Each structure stands twice: as structure tokens, then as C-alpha cells.
């Protein structure tokens, strides 16, 4: 706002502003270039990038869901287990009928059934979380910690702690197919991101979600039905997790009790890196996606460079802490 500045010194200011508002995008591009240089461009070949997209696609659905929840100042720890449960349920209806150890051996299901069932599982958990948080006034951390455990238990009970394999080819193609060089998964992610972007930016609901995260009291005074809106956010997130579960089982061609483990960590880390503030009310869908790709690129790059996966965990933890630290410095509210 300082008018006394000369035109010349405005350019660095502009660059500085751009850097501070697009930190995550700049970081992502810088990392991409860095990785390209140290691998002589090998990491940026089409095949490698396809692998990256496929690996991150399922997580993207989780990130979109939990990203919306974090914007309301909430959190969802059940994400990974709900995705896992939904993957197991959908897989159980997609096993080939002549596979002896199939859960429903000898039974033939329509191809849409596993898809619907998986999404329904996610939606049910989303609704459950939403009711607990919005109407039960449970802190989101505790409510979703509980449902995380419930989902884990159900997953083990339902699968009888064994792997559900031998999925039908016409089911697997949902995730494994390509349209030219473009994996189907990328198309789904782009569609989902666009839908959520429209929801968040072009509907009353989206505006209400930002308002609730920004100041829930003021939102109520402004006539927003805070409880109903909060519940819907958790429900939408659950639907996204359900889709993630379906896509995951189709991509892997199986599901087992370990499916989905720790995915909540990755998704929360991704959106945090992407600038979704835990102080609430701040964040964009673009940011969520960039954060996801950044974290994906770090994993992918370290694997590509042959870094031991145990060390990758250390790096990931450090990045999460750093991202939240930066976020809190930027958005922490003054008491």
C-alpha cells in the first residue's frame, strides 16, 4: 500500500508476492526441474510420469475429501481405513465367480455392484462422521479416530483377514485402462477435482464451507445452517473415499486388510503442503492437487534415486512438520 515506492522497486515486490501466494506451485515446478536435471531427464519420461499419476490418483480422491474437511477446521483420520474397507467390499463383489477362494464363490455379480457397494461404504462412514461432528458436537479428531478403528475392525472381519484377489478383468480395466497415453485414472481425478472446484467456488455450499472454517459463529449469524453444512462436507468426503476404494481395488486387482493403511497421513500431508490451513477457511482445490503432486514427486524422486524407503518416511515426516509450521506462521490468529 506504500505509494512512495518507485516503479523500479515494484518488480521484486511483485515477484515476492507471487512467491508467497504461489509457494506450493513454485516449489513443485522447482522440484520437477531439479529431478529432471539430476536424472538427466529420465525421471520426466512419459512412462515415469504415467506411473506417478497412477500412483497418486487414488490418494487424490482422499485429499479432495479431507481438504474440504480441513477447510471447515476439521480433520478426518478415518480416511485411510474407510478407503481400505471400501476397497475390500468392492473387491469382494468383483471376484471371478469360478475362483475357489472368492468371498462369494460361485456367485456372479453385475459389474456395477462393486462400484456402488464401495461408494456406499464410503458414504455411510462419511455420514456417520458428519453426524457425530455436526450434531453430536464431538471434536472431529476424536469422532474420526473412533470411526477409523471401526473401519479397521470391519475390514478385518469382512475379509476374514485374507486377501481378496482374482478380480474380473472388466472390473480392473476401470483403473488400469488407458485412453491413448492418458490413464483413465487421470481422467477421473481431473473430473473429481473440477467437480469439487465448482462446488467450492461456484455454489452457496462452497461459500458456506469457507465461511464456517473462517468463523463458525459469524456463519451462524449470517443464516448458514452450520450443522447441516458440516455434515454434508463429511458425507461428500466419504463418497470420495468410497470412489478411492473402488479405484484402488481395481488398480491393484485385489484388496486385503492392509489396503488403505496410512493413507490418511499421506492425504493430510498432501493438502497441508498444498496450503490448506489447519486454522480453517483457507485453501483451494488447486492447492490440494499441487500439494499432492509435490508429495508424490518427492516419493517418486526418492524411489527413482534409490533412497531406502525407510528414509523416505523420515523425509515425509519432516516435510509435513515444515509445511504446518509455515502455515501456522502465516495464518496463526493473533490472540
Partner 1 sequence: MSQQQDYILEMHNISKSFPGVKALDNVTLKVRPGTVHALMGENGAGKSTLMKCLFGMYKKDEGEILLKGEKVHFTSAKDALESGVSMIHQELSNVPDRFVMENLWLGREPMHRMGPLQLVDHKKMFNDTVELMKNLEMDIHPKSKMSEISISSQQGCEIAKAVSYNASVVVMDEPTSSLTEKEVEHLFKIINNLRDQGVAIIYISHKMSEIFEISDEISVMRDGQLVASKPASELDDDKLINLMVGRDMTHRFPPVDFNIGEETVLKVDQLTAANPRSFKDISFELKKGEILGIGGLVGAQRTELVEAIFGMRGVASGMIEVHGKHVNISSPREAIRHGIGLITEDRRGTGIFPLLSILDNTSIPSLDDYKKKSHLLNHKKIESDSVQVNKQLRTKTPTYKTPIQNLSGGNQQKVIVARWLMTSPDILIMDEPTRGIDVGAKYEIYLIMTELIKQGKSIIMVSSEMPELLGMASRVMVLCNGKKTGILSREEASQESIMRLAAQFS
Contact characters 279-298, partner 1, x per CB under 8 A: --xx----------------
Stretch that binds partner 1, among 58-66, 155-163, 218-226, 238-246 (CB under 8 A): 218-226
Q: What is the largest CA-CA distance in the chain?
A: 80
CA atoms of 221 and 161, how far apart (whole Å): 49
- Bridge partners of 95, per DSSP, are 167
Per CB under 8 A, the list member of 220, 286, 303, 307 interacting with partner 1 is: 220
Going by C-alpha positions, the residue among 88, 84, 133 that lies closest to residue 235 is 133
Residue with smaller CB distance to partner 1, 1 or 179: 1
* Residue 329 within binding range of partner 1, rule CB under 8 A: no
Candidate ranges 164-172, 214-222, 252-260, 312-320; the one touching partner 1 (CB under 8 A) = 214-222
Q: How far is the CB of 248 from partner 1 (least distance, A)?
A: 31
Encoded one letter per residue, x for contact with partner 1 by CB under 8 A and - for no contact, window 100-139 reads: ----------------------------------------
Grid cell at residue 148: 477409523
Q: Does 215 bind partner 1 (CB under 8 A)?
A: yes
Residue 328: helix, strand or coil by DSSP? helix
CA-based nearest residue to 285, from 71, 51, 126, 30: 71
Residue 183 interacts with partner 1 (CB under 8 A): yes or no: no
State how far the Cα of 263 lies from the Cα of 253, in Å rounded to an integer: 18
Q: Is 218 in the site for partner 1 (CB under 8 A)?
A: yes
**Three cell numbers written together for 273:** 503442503
In 10 A of CB 49, how many CB atoms? 16
Cα angle, residue 293 at apex, residues 27 and 187 outer, rounded to 5°: 140
Q: Work out whether 225 is an interface residue with partner 1 (CB under 8 A).
A: yes
Residue 72 CB, nearest distance to partner 1 (Å)? 13
For binding to partner 1 (CB under 8 A), which residues are involved? 1, 198, 202-204, 207-208, 210-211, 214-215, 217-225, 281-282, 331, 333
Amino acid at each position: 500500500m506504500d505509494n512512495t515506492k518507485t516503479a523500479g522497486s515494484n518488480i521484486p515486490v511483485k515477484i515476492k508476492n507471487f512467491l508467497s501466494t504461489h509457494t506450493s506451485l513454485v516449489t513443485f515446478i522447482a522440484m520437477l526441474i531439479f529431478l529432471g536435471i539430476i536424472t538427466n531427464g529420465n525421471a520426466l519420461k512419459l512412462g515415469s510420469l504415467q506411473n506417478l499419476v497412477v500412483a497418486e490418483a487414488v490418494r487424490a480422491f482422499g485429499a479432495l475429501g479431507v481438504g474440504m474437511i480441513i477447510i471447515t477446521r476439521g480433520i478426518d483420520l478415518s480416511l485411510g481405513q474407510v478407503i481400505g474397507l471400501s476397497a475390500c467390499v468392492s473387491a469382494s463383489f468383483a471376484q471371478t465367480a469360478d475362483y475357489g477362494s472368492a468371498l462369494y464363490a460361485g456367485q456372479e455379480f453385475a459389474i456395477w455392484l462393486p462400484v456402488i457397494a464401495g461408494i456406499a461404504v464410503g458414504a455411510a462412514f462419511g455420514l456417520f462422521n458428519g453426524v457425530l461432528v455436526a450434531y453430536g458436537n464431538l471434536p472431529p479428531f476424536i469422532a474420526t479416530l473412533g470411526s477409523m478403528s471401526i473401519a479397521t475392525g470391519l475390514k478385518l472381519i469382512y475379509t476374514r483377514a485374507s486377501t481378496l484377489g482374482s478380480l474380473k478383468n472388466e472390473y480392473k480395466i476401470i483403473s488400469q485402462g488407458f485412453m491413448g497415453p492418458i490413464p483413465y485414472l487421470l481422467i477421473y481425478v481431473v473430473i473429481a477435482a473440477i467437480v469439487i472446484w465448482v462446488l467450492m467456488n461456484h455454489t452457496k455450499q462452497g461459500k458456506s464451507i469457507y465461511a464456517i472454517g473462517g468463523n463458525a459463529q459469524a456463519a451462524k449469524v449470517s443464516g448458514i445452517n452450520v450443522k447441516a453444512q458440516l455434515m454434508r462436507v463429511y458425507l461428500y468426503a466419504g463418497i470420495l473415499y468410497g470412489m478411492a476404494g473402488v479405484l484402488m481395488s481395481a488398480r491393484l486387482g485385489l484388496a486385503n486388510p492392509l489396503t488403505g493403511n496410512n493413507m490418511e497421513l499421506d492425504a493430510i500431508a498432501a493438502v497441508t503442503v498444498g496450503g490448506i490451513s489447519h486454522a480453517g477457511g483457507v485453501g483451494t482445490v488447486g492447492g490440494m492437487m499441487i500439494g499432492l503432486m509435490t508429495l508424490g514427486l518427492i516419493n517418486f524422486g526418492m524411489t527413482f534415486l534409490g533412497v531406502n524407503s525407510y528414509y523416505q518416511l523420515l523425509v515425509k515426516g519432516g516435510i509435513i512438520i515444515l509445511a504446518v509450521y509455515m502455515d501456522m506462521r502465516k495464518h496463526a490468529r493473533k490472540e
